[in-house]
Structure 1
Amino acid sequence: MRRTTSLAWLNIVLRRHWLRGSMQACGITTPGRRRPIVEENERLLAVLLSEGLSNDQLARVLRISRKTA
């Protein structure tokens, strides 16, 4: 995968991740099946880890607590 394609994919997946988190925080049911979401989150995490992000950076990007990262 070319780097620009990878970055575009990463941008799309991050925005989906943030949107799902915001919807869940507001009590709105998120559409879609659980399995594809889990696989997408795992792939997102793998890409971020392969880029060498620290736990602090992962927490900021994924908008989660540092302990969760």
Structure 2
Amino acid sequence: MARGQQREQARAKAQKEAAKRAGGVSQLGARAAGLQIKCPKCFIAIANYNLLKQHMEAKHPKETVPPESDFQAKA
């Protein structure tokens, strides 16, 4: 009988732990809100203007980088 009680306690503890893990909070909404600037060439979402400059230099070297003021009005 002692083993039966241990088994029930272990099962209850495992259910509590599983409930803690299953209740995760998604950060997709916060991530989407942080990505406010879009590349004018390929429309990829970027977090800030400095990253946009780096992206444009690396991926679209023939295109000119738009001024920062274009993105300040949208944000």
TM-score with structure 2 setting the length:
0.31
TM-score with structure 1 setting the length:
0.33
Query: Rg: which structure is higher?
Result: 2
Higher relative contact order (CA 8 A, sep 6+): 1
Q: Higher helix fraction: Structure 1 or Structure 2?
A: 1
